[in-house]
Homo-oligomer: A and B are copies of this chain.
């Protein structure tokens, strides 16, 4: 980070802090965190006899000492302000997690007051440092920090409304509720994976847009992870990639407090996290006293910044619920209010005479500078960008599109369209055509597959691989890490509104990444999930690889757009909707097998979710309506032809996206599915669950309500009755 003209007093202190000798983590044998933990007293600020033991003994000039002493007192006051805002808010709500904020207040203070660059009055300023609280249950830490830093989203009233209906301070951090919160966390491990995505985004944009004379992209990603995050597989996946990619500007603090909900981590978590992260290619630093070791924390951050080719894990040993005389260092302080008497005891122990929610004047005064400093930081950057734009118009336009989310005019014209004469092709291949058509038109399109690029057909042919040495490229290689992949894409999507991240695996393996996909939907991250091999049509790989219930399971998920396109036009339509919807993720379920381009399909049809592709009826009164999706729309078209030959008036309907259809006007819906026509047959090579709503009580849903089988695709279709004959027979029964 280049020195800035707005260097603050605290930042000056940071720059003065002395690095520890051999600050890299000691070997596991030498560590005995639990015993070192148990030797930690519960500090009282009034006496604090041993606190200074944790500070390195260094010789300083007297003037500095004096200045520092005052400063240290203020820092401690600020840290206790954070602790008590958390204690008081949880107490008032009688719900929440005070333990983490009490233990992590020191690192939180140093980050938000001394280290991070942000503009509280514009939480969306592009070049801000990002902070992710992966241990999201400790959200009062972040709310307290946002409050002190001057964010309008968290006023005193909001703190008092913690966890209440309609408040800006929900029970876990939610980016869509609270400006200043970058991503949505709480489900453990998601946040650190989001942070990897944010850091990937920065590294990519910096490599792509920075010039020798203008470092226009330059910010850090900070993250606090707890023991719970560390146990989750998703965090190992994401951190393995962070090491592989050498994300040097990712700095994660591991709140090593040895307590999880069930008690001491000894009961289930005795691995050496340090050794594991060494294996993952991270730089590791151990801050042994995270409770009061401010200089240790500062030095660790300085060291982490100096390591530019690896992400850094700063293991900060803390005491959960620090300051609570009877509950600190126990699970009882993790997830419940302290209770009135323990709040009193903690106030006494930490020497805190103030009323609940009180921010002492000098603390308020100290933090108030962030408003003007933040404005300056942004103004400086704006000026820098104006210069950049003059010199590098083309790059500036691309970057601006990513920053603002406004796609270049006419981007959608890049999408291909098809006529029935175009030879049959798998929708996974048609998807690749769309991705490659969009890549030059949509600057923020970036993504890849979980080690199935050649099966998912997701490579952008004009770009190379995003790798440690080539971060300007746009093909991301996620390895076999579906859950991490999804959460990394959430981080990319939420880094800047113009990013259009996509990721891919077999549709059935959404089961591995559903946690991240739900967060996409909840946190309004417009990730595109390219999910191929979408049915028994994949054939021989068998039931472990054949999705059955997955379409239904995502149709039931709020704010998720679930597409199952039938051919080239529908695939292009799905991409059009997906790219436009930056606050709503999309899943494209795509076929392995070839499908014909059908008469009547269109991009416009897809935009309505359900639409008629062919009809020989008049007066909106067909004898029967046949409905299909994806690979089975061909069966619908053929069955319609057969029935028409026999004199029936048949409407063939594509139901490519249930959600979009549901959002159409009643009039439009009636025009496709007239209430009076109850003879309806649906067919889909998947669970029939949910179809009763579409075909009605009198209709028939053809599908598969058991698991698939291992055999050539055509054989399975026939054995499972997913055939033209089945549709024709069902239709004849109804009309």
The chain A residues found within 8 Å of chain B, CB to CB, are: 28, 93, 95-96, 136, 163-167, 170-172, 174, 184-189, 227-229, 231-237, 240-241, 243-244, 260-262, 265, 267-281, 331, 449, 451-455, 465, 467, 477-484, 508-509, 511-512, 514-515, 517-519, 521-522, 539-545, 548-549, 552-553, 555-559, 678, 687, 689-690, 692-693, 696-698, 705-707, 709-712, 715-716, 719
Contact of A480 among B232, B274, B477, B693 (CB under 8 A): B232
Using Cβ atoms and an 8 Å threshold, which residues of chain B touch A484? Answer: 233
* Beta-carbon contact of A477 and B267 below 8 Å: yes
Does A522 lie within 8 Å of B544, measured CB to CB?
Answer: yes
Most buried by B among A171, A484, A545, A693: A171
- Contacts A268-B451, A693-B693 known; 14 new A-B pairs at CB < 8 A: A28-B279, A171-B540, A171-B710, A231-B237, A232-B237, A233-B481, A241-B268, A244-B269, A262-B449, A271-B281, A483-B512, A552-B689, A553-B557, A559-B707
Q: Which residues from B are CB-within-8-Å of A170?
A: 542-543, 709-710
With a 10 A CB-CB cut-off, give which of A187, A484, A678 has the most chain B CB atoms: A187
> Given that A165-B716, A271-B240, A559-B707 are known contacts, is A541 also in contact with B696, CB under 8 Å in the complex?
no
* Interface-centre pick from A243, A478, A541 (highest chain B CB count, 10 A): A541
Residue of B186, B261, B483 touching A233 (CB-CB under 8 A): B483
Distance (whole angstroms) from the CB of A200 to the closest CB of chain B:
13
Q: How far is the CA of A172 from the CA of B237 in the complex (A)?
A: 24
A513-B705 Cα distance, complex, nearest whole Å: 21
For residue A510, which residue of chain B has the nearest CB?
Answer: B514
Report the separation of the CA atoms of residues A232 and B451 in the bound assembly, to the nearest whole angstrom.
11
Evaluate whether A136 and B280 lie within 8 angstroms (CB atoms) in the complex, with A268-B241, A479-B231, A556-B553 already known: no
Contacts of A268 in B (CB 8 A): 241, 244, 451, 477-479
A578 to B712, alpha carbons, bound, how many Å?
A: 35
- Pairwise interchain contact A261-B452, C-beta atoms closer than 8 A: yes
The distance from the CB of A699 to the nearest CB of chain B, in whole angstroms, is 9
Q: What is the CA–CA distance of A276 and B274 in the complex, to the nearest angstrom?
A: 9
Q: CA of A512 to CA of B188 in the docked complex: distance in angstroms?
A: 10
- Can you report 6 residue pairs joining A to B where beta carbons are below 8 Å apart? A163-B542, A165-B719, A189-B480, A233-B483, A548-B556, A548-B557
Separation of A130 and B74 alpha carbons in the complex (Å) = 62
- A541 contacts B455, CB within 8 Å? no
Report yes or no: A262 in contact with B522, Cβ–Cβ below 8 A: no
Q: Which residues of B contact A451 (CB under 8 A)?
A: 228, 231, 260-262, 268
Considering residues A136, A231, A268, A478, which has the most beta carbons from chain B within 10 angstroms of its beta carbon? A268
CB closest residue in chain B, given A711: B165
Task: Decide if A552 touches B481 in the complex (CB within 8 Å).
Answer: no
Chain B contacts for A453, CB-based, 8 A: 261-262
B residues near A517, Cβ cutoff 8 Å: 511
Partner of A522, one of B187, B519, B543: B543
Contacts of A481 in B (CB 8 A): 231-233
Given A540-B163, A544-B136: A237 in contact with B233 (beta carbons within 8 A): yes
The residues of B that contact A514 with a CB separation of less than 8 Å are: 511-512, 514
Contact partner of A163 (CB less than 8 A), chosen from B28, B274, B552, B710, is: B710
Q: Which one of B542, B552, B557, B692 contacts A171 once the chains associate, using CB atoms below 8 Å?
A: B542
Given contacts A539-B95, A543-B522, A558-B705, contact A455 B260 (CB under 8 A): no
Q: Which of B231, B244, B483, B558 contacts A706 (CB 8 A)?
A: B558
Knowing A233-B237, A479-B231, say if A279 contacts B281 (CB, 8 Å). no
In Å, the complex CA distance between A278 and B479 comes to 22
Q: Let me know if A240 and B231 touch, CB within 8 A.
A: yes
Inside 8 A of A711's CB, which chain B residues have their CB?
163-167
| Nearest-CB residue, chain B, relative to A705 | B558
CA distance A278 to B240 in the complex (A): 16
- Expressed in whole angstroms, the Cα–Cα distance for A172 and B693 within the complex equals 35
Q: Are A479 and B244 in contact (CB under 8 A)?
A: no
A477:B271 contact, CB within 8 angstroms: no
Report B-chain residues with C-beta under 8 Å of the C-beta of A265. 479
> Would you call A279 and B275 a contact (CB within 8 A)?
yes
- CB nearest neighbor in B for A137: B541
Nearest first, the 6 A-B pairs at minimum CB distance are A233-B233, A275-B279, A268-B479, A170-B710, A692-B693, A276-B279
Cβ of A505 to closest chain B Cβ, rounded Å: 11
In the assembly, what is the distance between CA of A96 and CA of B235, in Å? 32
Across the interface, do A542 and B280 meet the contact criterion of CB distance under 8 Å? no
Which residue on B lies nearest to A235, using beta carbons? B233
Instruction: Verify B545–A552 contact, CB threshold 8 A.
Output: no
Contact between B262 and A454, CB atoms less than 8 A apart? yes
Contact of A172 among B331, B696, B710 (CB under 8 A): B710
Set of chain B residues within 8 Å of A687, measured between Cβ atoms: 556, 558
Nearest Cβ on chain B to A554's Cβ, whole angstroms = 8
Cα–Cα distance between A559 and B705 once the two chains are bound (Å): 9
Query: Which residue of chain B has the shortest Cβ distance to A706 in the bound complex?
Result: B558
Set of chain B residues within 8 Å of A719, measured between Cβ atoms? 165
Q: Are A509 and B187 in contact (CB under 8 A)?
A: yes
Docked complex Cα distance between A692 and B481 (Å)? 37
CB of A513 to closest CB in B, whole Å: 9
Shortest CB distance A153–B (Å): 15
**A61-B352 Cα distance, complex, nearest whole Å:** 82
CB contacts (< 8 Å) of A678 on chain B: these are 697
| Minimum CB–CB distance for A408 against chain B, Å | 30
Interface pair A515/B511, CB less than 8 Å apart = yes
